[in-house]
Amino acid sequence: MNSARTGRRAATSLRVLSCNILAGASVRRYSHYVTRSWTQVLPGRDKQANLNRLANVIAGFDVVGLQEADAGSLRSGFLNQTRYLAETAGMPYWSHQPNRPMARIAHSANGLISRLQPTEVYDHPLPGRIPGRGALLARFGQGREALTVVIAHLSLGPQTRARQLGFIAELLDGCPHALLMGDLNCDPDSAEMRQLFRRTSLEPPQEIPPTFPSWRPRRAIDHILVSKPLRVERLWTLPDAFSDHLPLAAEVRVPASLSPG
The count of domains in the chain is: 1
Q: Decide if 7 is inside a domain.
A: no
**Per-residue pLDDT tens for 59-68?**
999 999 999 9
1: pLDDT confidence band, cut at 50, 70 and 90? very low
Q: What is the DSSP letter of 204?
A: P
Q: Decide if 56 is inside a domain.
A: yes
Q: Decide if 103 is inside a domain.
A: yes
Per-residue confidence (pLDDT) for residue 76, from 0 to 100: 67
Indicate if the pLDDT at residue 5 is higher than 80.
no
Q: Which domain holds residue 88?
A: 12-258
> What is the chain's length?
261
- pTM, rounded to two decimals: 0.89
For β-strands 106-114 and 134-140, DSSP reports them as unpaired
Span of 175-179, 193-197, 239-243 with lowest mean pLDDT: 239-243
237-242: average pLDDT: 88
185, 203 contact by CB (below 8 A): no
Output the domain CATH number for residue 115.
3.60.10.10
Indicate if the pLDDT at residue 49 is higher than 70.
yes
Span of 33-37, 59-63, 102-106, 241-245 with lowest mean pLDDT: 33-37
Greatest extent of the chain over all pairs of C-alpha atoms, in Å: 66
Q: Decide if 5 is inside a domain.
A: no
Distance CA 155, CA 126 (A): 9
Indicate if the pLDDT at residue 40 is higher than 80.
no
**Per-residue pLDDT tens for 214-230?**
999 999 999 999 998 89
**Per-residue pLDDT tens for 134-182?**
999 999 998 888 999 999 999 999 999 999 999 999 999 999 999 999 9
Query: What percentage of the chain has pLDDT greater than the value 90?
Result: 66
Q: Decide if 85 is inside a domain.
A: yes
